[in-house]
Chains A and B, each alone.
Chain A
């Protein structure tokens, strides 16, 4: 089973290699990099090209490691006990499996994306150590052990907001995606807009990279913003000649923070 990239996704040689290493060693792959470097899309591309099911576990600041395993709905059971709605002796019906468990019990090998792991509490990755190592876990309530039928391909993304704990990292393969350079970005844009006018592409990219160079911005525009911006530019048929750093049409698609917009207006757009 070798991943070779897929048609709708531009992956560097290194990224493809890292994916294959993770598949061979059967270890989770941690993908780090700036927002907009296509970290989340990678899992989709792997699932697509290897014809596997994709299971996405989106991590939020409130997500606990246990959420990925199972959830025992005690409140529902209590409620049922009170109103005698259902037979409450069967605990199984109150156990709801999480995303990790879903990937484990899948008959065919699945791709599990643990998206933005750094959003969760600092203890989160450590709480998953055993489960990812053994690819199994135990549910004490039903005395059941859930074992992975096929070890899923685990892709973990992180925005480098927080460093991940060492014991966790030791068990993973790691790759840092650099922000695409001018040439690679051209290729990426062309995947989205195959018939884009060459002049528009170059002008848009130049302005995009100029804005990214401004160190004072709170949120630099990333690939997805660039794609959105180009989409509007193409749909609105703006005169290419008139676009410059001083005159950026639809700047709201590129710059999302009010403070940044104010800053740009003060510094450049006057």
Chain B
């Protein structure tokens, strides 16, 4: 399987990788950091995944990628060679302007050709080569893939998938909603007086017969902590989705100092829910403890 499969698997899991980041991975390969499939897991994660919430998605994409099998070393070399040629060709043009899709397309074409020429079955390696249950490192027909025991490290970490709870599926809605939400922000003048109040200074100076008298004012700050409790189930069901979308875009844009949302059913009892898909409970008492009077509840 080509390295680009990995790229697509990552995209499919919702990890939005830009060309810049893919180029970082390329640079790491060039500098000799990535020698085997295990290195790919870790170094790929450092440069491609920018939040622990997507670690689990990354793990899943990686598992799928590894399970597809194939001689990774060869593929990495191939990708390097291709990218080198591509860079040379376009050295005088703006690098960022080449569409990624185009490169991918051309690369895939090349891969296809390569496959026809080389396919003798010798390249394909049984899945067991990567399995955490042993006999790893050696392919069916005796080709060693990457380093020996090291291979296991990444796959082991990935299959544990212990970043599962850090996942957060963010729904991004239309720009209109987010712009409208901006209006909900209210700045408050707060804290120390450290901004120079120009109008007041001119005023005071004039009154002071031109002798400069500087006035200060407090700085404007965004201090709203927002807590949203959504009534879920029954008659409210049709509206839930819309409300959720609205506020998930708010969270995404970080308009508020703090923003959290929970669900309840009928009435707020001892527990409210963090997640309605699997009814994950959250104690109401904890919520009350965590939110002080500076928060706002909707």
Contacts and interface: CB of A to CB of B under 8 A. Distances in A.
Sort chain A's interface into a size bin: 35 or more
B290 interface: yes
B287 to A, nearest CB: 11
B46 A21 contact: yes
B285 interface: yes
Contacts of B211: 82
B286 interface: yes
A30 interface: yes
A173 B212 contact: no
Given A170-B20, A176-B55, A17 B43 contact: yes
- What DSSP secondary structure best describes chain B's contact surface? mixed
Contacts of A172: 50
Contact of B222 (A18, A122, A171): A122
Interface in B13-70: 16, 18, 20-21, 24, 27-28, 31, 33, 42-43, 46-47, 49-52, 55
B47 A169 contact: no
B214 A62 contact: no
B16 to A, nearest CB: 8
B263 interface: no
Interface string A10-34: 0000100110110011010010100
B78 interface: no
Interface in A1-60: 14, 17-18, 20-21, 24-25, 27, 30, 32
B50 A24 contact: no
A218 B290 contact: yes
Interface in B164-201: 166, 191-192, 194, 196
Given A17-B42, A78-B212, A163 B28 contact: no
Interface centre among B42, B51, B221 (most CB of A within 10 A): B51
B112 interface: no
A121 interface: yes
Contacts of B28: 21, 24-25
Interface in B143-173: 163, 166
B31 A24 contact: yes
Interface string A201-232: 00000000000000110100000000000000
Contacts of A174: 46-47, 49-51
Interface string A148-191: 00000000000011111110011111111000000000000000
Contacts of A30: 50
Given A122-B255, A163-B51, A27 B24 contact: yes
A78 B24 contact: no
Interface of chain A: mostly helix, strand, loop or mixed: mixed
A163 B254 contact: yes
A62 B51 contact: no
A25 B47 contact: yes
B252 to A, nearest CB: 8
A68 to B, nearest CB: 17
Nearest to B282: A215
A122 B31 contact: no
A170 B51 CA distance: 11
Nearest to A78: B212
A119 to B, nearest CB: 11
A265 interface: no
A235 interface: no
Contacts of A93: none
B219 interface: yes
Contacts of A173: 24, 46-47
B156 to A, nearest CB: 13
A216 B286 contact: yes
B289 interface: yes
Contact of A170 (B18, B196, B212, B290): B18
B50 A170 contact: yes
Interface centre among A61, A74, A259 (most CB of B within 10 A): A61
Given A75-B196, A170-B20, A21 B289 contact: no
Contacts of B212: 78, 82
B278 to A, nearest CB: 17
The 10 closest A-B pairs by CB, nearest first: A169-B50, A176-B52, A122-B254, A174-B50, A18-B46, A21-B46, A173-B46, A216-B286, A24-B31, A25-B24
7 contacts: A17-B46, A62-B192, A82-B212, A166-B50, A174-B49, A216-B283, A216-B286
